Amino acid sequence: MAEEKKPRQLATEAAAKIPRMARANIVATLKAKEEGKKVANAFIVDGHDEIMRAMDIVPAWGESYSGICAAKRDAEKYLQKAEAENFSRSLCTYATCSLGFDMWREELGGQIPPDSPWGGMARPDMILGSAQQLCDPRFKWPQATQHYLQDVPVFIGSMYYPTWDPNIDHKDQERFYVKYAVEELRSAVRFLEKHSGKKMDWDRLASIVDLTDRTWNLFVETYELRKAHPCPMDTGDAMNTMVPISFMLGTQEAYDFYLALNTELKEKIEAHKGVVENEKYRLLWGAGLPSWFALADFQYFNGRGAVFPVETTYRCCEPVYRLDLPEVSDPLEHIAWRWVRYWTHWYDKARQRPGSMPEVERLVEYIEDYKCDGVVFHSAFSCRTWHAGIILQTEILKKVYRDIPILVMEGDIVDISSYNEADTHNRIDAFIETLEAARVRKMRG
C-alpha cells in the first residue's frame, strides 16, 4: 500500500498546473488506443520529440511514469516485480520500475495492473530507444522491455557529440557528429513510417522544429528571471515545471506554459515576492536527478532560508541564438546541430581555464550569474552515468574556481529504501551551518 505523504507547498501557480499536465500525458496513451493512434515508448532529451509529434505518434514516457510512481511512494510493487525476474536492484530504477509495470500488464493480458498510479500507461505499438546519448540503461531498457513485449518493434538510435579534450578543437569534429546524428534521425523516421503506416510531413516537422527553437529560447529566458533577489522560483518548482520542456516539447501547450510562467515570475519580481521570506543563502542544484519521493526536502532547505535559483537538472536546452547554429534547410540536420552545439558550447570557455571541464564551467557560470553561495548535488545510487561524475566535478570546481561550500546528498530517484529522512535533514542542517560560517567569513572580509 502506498505510504501517505504530505502535499508539497508550491511557490508558483504555474507549478501547481503540472500534475494535471503530467497526468494528461499518461492518459493520452490510453486515449490513443481508443482513437486508433500509435503509441511509442519514448525517452526524453533524445531528439525524437519533434519527429513523433509531426507523425501524431503519442509518446509513452517510462521515465515520467516511474517518477510519478516514486512521487506517490507507490513504486515498490513494480521494483519487486522486476527484481523477481532477475533485474538487479542496482540497475536504473526508472527502468526497473517501468519494466515491472510492463511485465505486470502483460501478465494481465494487456489490462492495466490494479491501483496503478494515474490509471497506468498503455501498451506501446513500438519502442523508440535512445542509445547512449545520456546513459547505458536507455540503450538496454528497450531491449529488456522487448523480452516481455516480443511483438513490439524496437528502434535504437544514437546521437553522440564530440568528447571533451582540452587539446583538441572540437569544431573540426562537429560536422562528423552531425552527419552521423542526421542519419540516425532519418533511420528513426523510416522506422516510424514503417510501423505507423504514416508518411512524415516534412513541412509540419519544420514548423514543429521552429516551435521547439522558440520554446528553448523562452524556457531559458524565463528561468533567467530567477536571477532576481529575492528569487521568485526555486528548484523545488523547477522539478515540476520541467514537464513541458521534457515531455511536451514541440507542442504549443509547452510554449504557452512558459509564456504564462514568464508573466508570473515578472509579476513576482515586481512585487518583490520571493520563495522564502528572508532569503539568506542562494544555492545551485549542481547535478543529479531528485529523489521523487522526497521533493519536500526542497522546502526543508527553504525553511532554513536557502533557495535554489538555478539547477542543471532538466535544463537540457540553451537559447538557440547563443549556439551559433548554421542555416540548414533539413529539419533533421537542424535538430542534429542543435543537439551537438548544446553540448559543445561550453567547450571554448572550459579551454580558457586550465584544468577545467565543460560541466564545471557550466557550474561556474551559474554560480556567478545567479550569485550562489553553495552547490548541492544529489547522487542517486542506481544512476551511474550522471552521478558517477559528481565527485570529480566537486574536486575540479574547488580547484579551478574557489572553495565554495558543497553538499553531496545520497539516495535514489525511485527506490525509497535508499532514503533516510532524518539523516538527510541532519546533513542539510550541517550544510546550512557551513554556509553560515562562510557568510560570516565573507562579511568579515
Partner 1 sequence: MIPCSLLRVIDSGSSETGADERRQDEEIQMNGLAMADKYYTEYGSRAKELKAEGKKVIGSKIYWPDVDATVDPVQGIAERYLRKLKLPTTYVGSGNTYKENLEARFGHLRQYIDTFNVNGVILFIYKYCDPYGFEVPAIKSFIESTGVPVLYLEDEYSMSSLARMKTRVEAFLEMIA
Which stretches of the chain bind partner 1, using CB under 8 A? 85-88, 90-92, 95, 131-132, 135-137, 139-141, 143-144, 146-147, 150-151, 154, 156, 384
What stretch of H or E contains 355? Answer: none
CB neighbour list of residue 305: distance below 8 Å, 6 or more residues apart: 276, 278, 279, 280, 281, 432
What is the spatial distance between Cα 106 and Cα 78, in angstroms, rounded to a whole number? 13
Q: Which of 151, 327 has the CB closer to partner 1?
A: 151
Q: Which of 154, 400 has the CB closer to partner 1?
A: 154
Q: How far is the CB of 340 from partner 1 (least distance, A)?
A: 20
What is the spatial distance between Cα 55 and Cα 250, in angstroms, rounded to a whole number? 12
Q: Which of 134, 260 has the CB closer to partner 1?
A: 134
Q: How far is the CB of 287 from partner 1 (least distance, A)?
A: 18
Q: Which of 132, 173 has the CB closer to partner 1?
A: 132
One-letter amino acid for residue 246 of the chain: S
Q: Which of 91, 360 has the CB closer to partner 1?
A: 91
DSSP line for 120-149: --PPPSEEEE-TTTT-SHHHHHHHHHHTTS
Q: How far is the CB of 48 from partner 1 (least distance, A)?
A: 16
The b-or-e profile of 101-123 (16+ CB within 10 A means b, else e) is bbbbbeeeeeebbeebbbebbbb
Q: How far is the CB of 188 from partner 1 (least distance, A)?
A: 13
Q: How far is the CB of 143 from partner 1 (least distance, A)?
A: 7
Q: Which of 143, 163 has the CB closer to partner 1?
A: 143
* Cβ neighbour number for residue 423 with a 10 Å cutoff: 12
Q: Which residue's C-alpha cell is 509564456?
A: 259
The b-or-e profile of 153-173 (16+ CB within 10 A means b, else e) is ebbbbbbbbbebeeeeebeeb
Q: How far is the CB of 150 from partner 1 (least distance, A)?
A: 4
